[in-house]
Structure 1
Amino acid sequence: MTTIKYELNLYDYIRILKRRKFVFFAGIISGLLFSLIYTNLQTPVYQAYAVVKIEPALIIPGVATEMLGWDMLHAVNTEVKVINSAIIAERTAKKLGLITENTPKDLASSIISSIQSKIQAERIADSNLVKIIATSSNKYEVAKLANTTAEVYIEKGVDDRIRRAKELREFIEKQLIDAEQNLRIAEEKLRKFAEETKTTGVGGQLAIELLSLQAKRDELLKIYTEKHPDVVLINQKIKFIEEQLAKLPKEEIEYARLTREVKLNEELYTLLAKRYKEAQISEADRVQPATIVTYAKEPTSPIRPNRVTNLSLGGFIGFILGIIFAFIVEHLDTSIATIEEVETYLGLPVVGVIPHIEEKTKRSHKFLFWEIKDEVATIKNKLVIYHSPKSPYVETYHTLRTNIKFSQEHIETRGIVLFTSAGVGEGKTLTSVNFALSAALAGVKTVYIEFDLRRPSVHRWFGVNRIPGITDYILGRKAYDEVIHTTTDFLLGGLEVDRIISTPGLENFVFIACGNIPPNPVDLLSSAKTFNVLNELKEKYDLVVIDTPPVLLFADALILSKYATYVILVYRVGRIARGALKRAKDMLTSIKANLVGVVLNDIRAEEMEPRYGYYYAYKYYTKEK
């Protein structure tokens, strides 16, 4: 078996898609239908969101904020986690009335988990704005859920702030009491020591001055290093005072120590007293650490499923599947689609390409819900006599006749042209009739013999009787003049008068029907009588055209091909498998039939390749007015 190998180009792919357009569009439609069904089966999901503005400085009141070095980034990120927590979900459920104190624990836990799964808080960029997103299949609850969560979070923030302020106040209050006691003890010690020792107080003054210098140095070190001139100067002063203190008597040194202790306790007490007042103010202040910037609104449409996106995706997937399926079907198709394939696979030239003709006749009969087309009316539309003599459709048959005539080195002046095909439905009969008619219109004296004894149909096209015919003439039952049909018979048979008048050359055409069908057609065709009749007709006419049954079904064509000058194999693209076509060709060549080539029938212009671009004209020119 010969393997067809040739390089596919872009047009080949386009041609395949055109040939398999039904498969291609079926893939697209399937993708769209699947996505539409999938979209309609999905539960709509709605979404709404509220935006809150968080004030990190108000989250932890008073001194704690400064002591912890709280920064906005950490604070906002922490609050996002708080909003997503189960605590907020529980408070939200309670505020919405979904759970109460009497709700069973398992049910309450399930409701809280459900709310927690529906709420998602996220920070907006690098700001202190947080978006609280509620997602649910209930479009009427999402906005309420988002707003309630925001309100609950703010309420919790206020409660937490008050609680922290209270805890801070209580802590500072306890420290303030201790500091007051320590100050009194230190003052009492200093007083008693002064009374007992009668010191001058110089040590105390130096101690106070030393504390002041040390405090200044600490402030400078926050800005400068140890080597800075100001720091160096203060260190020198501190060293000098320390040396002065060292030279004082023991009593003065102790007095200086006690003085420093009193001073330190005073400063601590003053600081705690200030913080205590601030804590009291914070505890009384119910300022909100967050505010709602944007309230959630009831959504007008679901976020999922996205009908446009799903249909677009379904259409795209269908488009891809359509291409894949089209190429799969093309790959599985064992027929031959192009001239190049036919010539390569069969080793025979393509002697003719017959274009597809759109049906103009609309005669039909309705039967119940079905419309049955009139076969004869449909065929008549495709006969060359119903087309302009100068139309490309008619010219294709003239080209076919020329190609056949010059296919051999020795040109026969008179000849028998036999048309056959591998299987049924290839269009061999119509091709052979048009071939004979076109020759007659060109002035060639032509006789057409309906030798398809298995399925005769041409006599109906011309409106003449099947009997008598060629079989009756071969068997001697009828004379030659009794079996031939001419223009007069066609006129009586229903062929329009104006069509006959407007078709010059039709008088050169003679038709012989099949006649009575014998019990065994093979015996009749193999007889010497058939051979003699064909030779007789060959002498009377310039051209004898024979229509025969398919080669693979009956032996008739093989028998008659021995008498034929030229044998033509008609093939309708995509009709049968390439193996069957090859088998038909091999059967004809095995009996030494003069198989001159193949006729591609019913070819659509879009199925042809650019290298055979002249066939494209058919699609344009055959649209006759």
Structure 2
Amino acid sequence: MNNELARQGDGYRPYSYPLAHFTPGSEQRPAGSTPQHGLDFAAIFRVINEWKWLVLGVLAAGIALGLLASLLTTKMYRAWVTLEVNPPTVEILDEKSREVSTQTSWDLMATQVGLLSSRTLAQRVAEDLNLAADRNFVGADGDASARLERATSRVAGGLKVVAPEEGQLIRFSYVSDSPEMAAKIANGVADGFIKNGLERRFEASAYARTFLQQQIAKTRAQLEKSERDLVTYAQAEGIINTSSGAPGTQPTDANSLQGESLVALNQALAEATARRVMAEGAYRQAQLAGGSSEANASTQALRQSKATLEAEYQDKRTLMKPEHPDMLSLRSRIDELDRQIAKERSTTASAQATTLLGAYRAAQSAENNLRAQVAGLKGSVLNLRGRSIRYNILQREVDTNRGLYDALLQRYKAIGVGGSVGTSPVMIVDRAEVPGAPYKPNVMLNLLLGTVGGLVAGIALAFMLDVLNDTIKTREDVRNKLGQACLGVIPKERGKEDLLAQLEDPASAVSEAYSAVLAALRFSAETGAPKALLVTSANPNEGKSSSALALAQSYARRGETVLLIDADLRRPAFKGVSTSHGVTDLLTSNESISAHVVRTQHSNLWLLPCGPIAPNPADLLSTGRFAEILEEAKEHFDRVVIDSPPALGIADATFLAAFAGHAMLVVESGRTRTNQAREAVERLLSSGVHLVGVTLTKSAEGASRYGYASYRYGQVEDKRKEIIMISEQADA
């Protein structure tokens, strides 16, 4: 049977690894170095899978809490009311005009939302609905004021107002454990809110009217005083104004008697000056023209007679000579007419010049007289102007008080009319109806929150425990935390046969895993797998003896002669037929190993047992005798596998590693702490040994990640036990 397994194992190669992946030192970094990585989903899944029962337990607790909260929570009902808010408008009507005033405000909606949430409104609702007398609502403890205070607090606490993002609709709700009470209070809040608005408007109008009445009385007194001061000063200074001028204009000099006289004289002076200019122009023109126009008018008859005689003279000249008596008589008559015309012209021109000169002198005299009067009034007006400065100040004060008084009267009338015809800016769109089902508790929401909360809490607790439990668990931990190559991962599964049975079966998950480790060892050094290999761990019971046996058996199945040395002189793991021979005897003598090596039940596999338990193992190993034993073993066997004590706490493993030259560290997944594994690595490296890598045992890591999808792995060395290896005494 053993030979058959060995023949099967000679050519068995379940895995193929790239050469560069196992080049010595290719994955080795200083122990403790931690490279930076991004989000590792595989590590997250590994943590969740490792603590899956914890996560599921917390998840179940969250679901139970959600269901329990749903069962224990009092059922609450919510009633909704919708209000429409419009800017208030006030119509002001009188006999002459009709005016519509609209109040607009950007924060009108926010103001209404704030008023809905006010405690004053809540107290009004409690009073209107007599909630203080409802024992189911406020209880029976305390006096009336205390119950009213509790009722107000309950109304305010159950009210929720939703401010609109756009539009003019405000929705609010009230929550109660009674559906009828929820609808009753919600509608009471709506009605009370509208009543409060109307009362505030009325109170505001009443206050404004009262305030305006006070201001009007005060302004009236000021107006009367200013008017008295004005009249007193005018009387004292003798200032008389005939008119007050146009409304809103300042009084001028023309409003006084002196001013009006000066204006009239100025106007008369201007007219006299114009008359004088016209008379002077007419006189100058008459002098230049010589009175031709008036002379022509006065001598027109003479000139007509002369023209008649000249015409007769010309007619007779054709028949008579100028010396004829008739002709001479006509000439004499014509000459006489010329003398008369010249005389008349001279008389007319002289009379006209005299008349125009008189008119000119009269106009000039009137102008000079008026000019003198104007000059006299100017001084009087200038004196009046100086005395009118105070008068004008008093007059402006009177006008100001009168304008303020008129404005207050007008505003008072407007408020009186507006306060009586104004409308409420709030209307009820939808009144509250009795809710048919509670809105709280929401069983599905509570279960969802419990599920999500339990899942998150479970995963968080799992990661917290995983962080607190700082152990080596995965290949990545070996590479990142220890800076060493991971030679393989030995799975762990409960309920399977013992280790020897699994190792006997080359197709078992454990055998497959150790075959992968063996393949990795072939590329751990430039010369291939080391001839002598020390197998050790940081702590006891991590699977180092099992790993040493598994490697030795794997080498043996491939046809190589293998010697398994049990060098744990304190707690040996392998038992032979007799305990009187072994490594202890060889360390204290110069005997050959042939007398102490025993053949095992496995083909090609021999055992050098520990022998008697020595009281001073470290002293025996420090002599250097073990190096001679190891050299002799290398001469007789193809492979030598050394089972060493743990590396921490004692110096045995350090001495053995220095003699072996190559060592493999066995780490139990999820048990060996990171600092312990790092310390073990450092102690081995300090001995000068070539640490070929780390083998991870008893791993619960997902098999599908590493090619073992068809297997569920068994347990490796869950507890310390002796392995009986002897079948017969080996020949010398």
Change (3 A) 1:393 1:472: same
Task: Report the Cα distance in structure 2 between the residues aligned to 1:508 and 1:133, rounded to whole angstroms.
Answer: 88
CA distance in 2, matches of 1:526, 1:141: 92
Secondary structure of residue in 1 paired with 2:663:
strand
What are the residue-to-residue correspondences of 1:29-68 with 2, within 5 Å?
40=69, 46-51=76-81
Partner of 2:488: 354
Cα distance 1:72–1:44, how it changes in 2: closer, same or farther (>3 A)?
farther
* CA separation of 1:417 and 1:127: change in aligned 2, threshold 3 A: closer
Residue 435 of structure 1 is matched in structure 2 by 551
Deviation string 1:400-457 (CA, Å, 9 cap, x unpaired) is 45235x5449x98xx4332223333442211111110001100112222222222223
The 1:354–1:619 alpha-carbon spacing in structure 2 relative to 1, beyond 3 Å, is same
Match of 1:297 among 432, 435, 451: 435
Offset of 1:30 from its aligned partner? 6.3
SS at match of 2:708: helix
Q: Which residue of 2 aligns with 1:227?
A: none
Q: Residue 111 of structure 1 is aligned with which of 151, 154, 157? A: 151
Which residues of 2 match residues 534-545 of structure 1 at below 5 A? 534-545=630-641
Could you report, residue by residue, the CA deviation over 1:449-506 in whole angstroms, capped at 9, with x for unpaired residues? 22222222344xxxx667355257637899967862422xxxxxxxxxxxxxxxxxx3
2:211 equivalent to 1:99: no
Give the aligned partner of residue 534 of structure 2: 418
**Which residue identity lines up with residue 133 of structure 1 in the other structure?**
S
Q: Give the aligned residue type for 1:456.
A: P
Contact 2:471–2:669 at 8 Å: present in 1 too? no
Equivalent residue, structure 2, for 1:144: 184
SS of 2:522 mapped into structure 1: helix
Q: Aligned residue for 1:556?
A: 652
| Structure 2 partner of 1:451 | 567
Q: Deviations over 1:560-579 (max 9, x none)?
A: 34543643333446654555
Partners in 2 of 1:408 and 1:616 — Cα distance? 30
Against the structure 1 CA distance between its residues 142 and 471, is the aligned structure 2 distance closer, same or farther, given a 3 Å change threshold?
same
SS in 1 for 2:154: helix
CA gap 1:108/1:60 in 2 versus in 1, 3 angstroms: farther
The alignment's C-alpha RMSD in Å is 5.8
2:82–2:429 contact (8 Å) kept in structure 1 = yes
Q: Distance in 2 between matches of 1:596 and 1:79?
A: 80
Relative to structure 1, the CA distance from residue 14 to residue 128 in structure 2 (aligned partners, 3 Å threshold; closer, same or farther) is same
Q: Note if contact 1:59-1:289 (Cα within 8 Å) is conserved in structure 2.
A: no
2:63 and 2:666 map into 1 onto residues whose CA distance is 45
Task: Quote how far apart the aligned CAs of 1:311 are.
Answer: 3.8
Q: Which stretch has the larger CA shift, 130-139 or 386-395?
A: 386-395
Contact 1:419 1:546 (8 Å CA) reproduced: yes
For the residue of structure 2 that corresponds to 1:359, the secondary structure is coil
1:8 maps onto 2:142 in alignment: no
User: Which of 598, 604, 607 lines up with 2:693 in the alignment?
Assistant: 598
In structure 2, the residue matched to 1:307 is 446
Inter-partner Cα distance in structure 1 for 2:533 and 2:521:
10
Task: Return closer, same or farther for 1:465/1:47 CA change in 2, 3 Å cut-off.
Answer: farther
Counterparts in 2 of 1:398 and 1:389: CA distance versus 1, 3 Å: farther
1:509 and 2:605 are equivalent in the alignment: yes
Q: Which residue of the other structure, out of 46, 60, 64, is the alignment partner of 1:18? A: 46
The one-letter amino acid paired with 1:307 is N
Indicate which of 572, 577, 600 corresponds to 1:486: 600
Secondary structure (helix, strand or coil) at the match of 1:108 reads: helix
AA paired with 1:49? A
Measured in 1, the distance between the counterparts of 2:47 and 2:514 equals: 25
Q: 1:316 to 1:69 in 2, by over 3 A?
A: farther
Question: 1:244 matched to which residue of 2?
Answer: none
Give the Å deviation of 1:324: 7.3
Aligned residues: 454
| Distance in structure 1 (CA, Å) of the matches to 2:143 and 2:439 | 34
Other structure's SS at 1:568 match? strand
Asked if 1:467 is matched to 2:587, the reply is no
- Rate the CA distance shift 1:449–1:469 in 2: closer, same or farther, 3 A: farther
Query: Once the two structures are superposed, what CA deviation does each residue of 1:273-322 show, in whole Å capped at 9, x if it has no partner?
Result: xxx9xx9xx9xxxxx97575451415423178962574477368648956
Three-state SS of the structure 2 residue aligned to 1:295 is coil
Matched residue, 1:214: none
| Letter aligned with residue 572 of structure 2 | P
Aligned to 2:523: 403
User: Structure 2: which 5+ runs fail to align?
Assistant: 1-29, 135-141, 207-416, 715-732
Structure 2 CA distance for partners of 1:59 and 1:307, relative to 1, 3 Å = farther
8 Å contact from structure 1 (residues 84, 119) kept in 2: yes
- SS of residue paired to 1:49: strand
Write the distance in 2 (CA, Å) between the matches of 1:344 and 1:360: 28
How far apart in 2 are the matches of 1:516 and 1:472? Answer: 6
Out of 129, 134, 142, the position equivalent to 2:174 is 134
Change (3 A) 1:61 1:317: farther
Say which SS state the counterpart of residue 171 (structure 2) adopts: strand
Structure-2 separation of matches of 1:15 and 1:76: 54
In structure 1, list runs of 5 or more residues that go unmatched: 168-275, 283-287, 363-376, 488-505, 609-614
Can you list the C-alpha shifts for 1:526-580, whole angstroms capped at 9, x where unaligned? 5687566555544443223220101222232333345436433334466545554
Give the aligned residue type for 2:694.
V
Code of the aligned partner of 2:435: K
- Give CA-to-partner distance per residue, 1:196-218, whole Å, 9 cap, x none: xxxxxxxxxxxxxxxxxxxxxxx
Q: Answer whether contact 1:55 1:128 (CA < 8 A) is retained.
A: yes
Deviation readout 1:344-394 (Å, 9 max, x if unpaired): 966xx63x62223232535xxxxxxxxxxxxxx543365364635997424
- For the structure 1 residues 482 and 361, does the alpha-carbon distance in structure 2 shift closer, same or farther, using more than 3 Å as the test? farther
Whichever residue aligns with residue 500 of structure 2, its letter is: K
Alpha carbons 2:472, 2:667 under 8 Å: kept: no
The aligned residue for residue 275 of structure 2 is none
How many angstroms apart in 2 are the aligned matches of 1:600 and 1:341? 9
Cα pair distance change 1:61/1:132, threshold 3 Å: farther
CA distance in 2, matches of 1:298, 1:450: 82
Q: Deviations over 1:492-529 (max 9, x none)?
A: xxxxxxxxxxxxxx321223443331222334445687
Determine if contact 1:468/1:483 at 8 Å carries over to the other structure.
no
**Secondary structure of 2:132's aligned partner:** coil
Alignment counterpart, residue 619 of structure 1, candidates 708, 711, 715: 708
> In 1, distance between residues paired with 2:88 and 2:651?
104
SS of the residue 1:423 aligns to = coil
Q: CA deviation at 1:86?
A: 5.7
- How far apart in 2 are the matches of 1:451 and 1:89? 89
TM-score, normalization: structure 1? 0.55
Aligned residue in 2 for 1:568: 664
Alpha-carbon offset, residue 61 of structure 1: 11
